[in-house]
Structure 1
Amino acid sequence: MRLIYKILPEPLWNAALAAGEFAGAPVDLADGFIHFSNAGQVRETASKHFVGQSNLLLAAFDAETLGPDLKWETSRGGALFPHLYASLDPALAVWVKPLPIDADGAHQFPDLTQ
């Protein structure tokens, strides 16, 4: 299993669960794909795009279950990032955990090895 991660506000995730589909966050909709990060990228993604934001969740997905619409494309610093060119079934999440922030505004990540 190769886990990839999506950081998103809890209300957006709850709406996806209710609808049975996640079309993407506003940035995803604007870019035409759902942004994910791998374990080595997700902390930098949080500090670059979500600094100080509370009420976030970290959702883990098995990249292999997302099919051919998942593309690994060059992005930040020449690294390959996973991008999904389709809507996402939230039931495919391996797990979803809170992504709290500490007093300094840094996100506290769960163990990504599970």
Structure 2
Amino acid sequence: MVSEGKPVGWRSQSEMDHYIRCPQCGALVDMRDLGEVLNHLHGQEIDEEPATMSVTCATCDGTGWVCENHPDRPWEGPRARGCGGAGAPCPACNIPADSETPRILEGYRVELDKDGWRH
């Protein structure tokens, strides 16, 4: 099992546990510093693996909408409160830029009037 890039239960025994010797130039490289690691690629290409993990907003469960009365809960889905409150754009992931409307749920539409968009 891995947590934050380290095996569970791993503890450094000394500061030197965080360093490796660069096979190209022999310098010590601090593996906690990505910039330092990248500087020691010496022109070598990095093989990238395709991303297999999808990131879902924990506030709205990826829907983009929360309950107006319970903004820490999704408006729809298994974790929704079902209190009858109106939906509101998720404050964590559905923040529209000025003069834009928030991302909407499939099957819904945004209504505009002289005051702007309504949710």
What range is the shorter-chain TM-score in?
A: under 0.3
TM-score normalised to structure 1 length: 0.22
Bigger share in helix:
1
Structure number with greater CO (CA < 8 Å, separation at least 6) is: 1
Bigger share in strand:
1
TM-score normalised to structure 2 length: 0.22
